[in-house]
Amino acid sequence: MKFKQAEALNVDTNPNDVEISHKLHRKGIKPIIVKFKSDKVKARMYKERAKLKHVRVSDLYPDSTAATRIESGRIYLNENLTSYIRDILKQANQKRKDGLLTAVWSMDGKIFVRTSPKPGKSDHNL
């Protein structure tokens, strides 16, 4: 069994890399939460997640129902953050949209921001 999202990211995975996964019960789109056995696999997936920017659900699952193909949006790979950290990330993303920050992302529950276009020196951890 191969994970289509991992294939889209060119990340080698196998079923033994996943400890548990399930859908979250929410209205509308039902996100899937996955707990990896190894932080290495999670880190590889997160590092490559920008490649999903132009991948749609229908690209990975062409045999899906017509309704799914019509409604299919982008695929996102996000961390399961606490509500407090998620709120801070949301505020930082708003500052990015307002042009005050260049980039915002999270990794291992920490939020990082880039304050200028040059990577490295302007990266800050919140």
Model confidence over 4-58: pLDDT tens digits? Answer: 677 777 777 888 888 888 888 877 777 778 888 888 888 888 888 877 777 777 7
Number of domains in the chain: 2
Cα separation of 71 and 104, whole Å? 27
Model confidence over 56-111: pLDDT tens digits? Answer: 777 776 776 666 656 667 777 888 899 999 999 999 999 999 999 999 989 888 99
| 5 touches 75 (CB < 8 A) | yes
The verdict on residue 78 lying in a domain is no
Q: Is 54 helix (H, G, I), strand (E, B) or coil?
A: helix
| Domain match, 64 and 90 both | no
Contacts (Cβ under 8 Å, ≥6 apart) of 85: 106, 109, 111
| Domain match, 89 and 51 both | no
| Domain match, 66 and 11 both | yes
- Domain, as residue range, for 94: 83-125
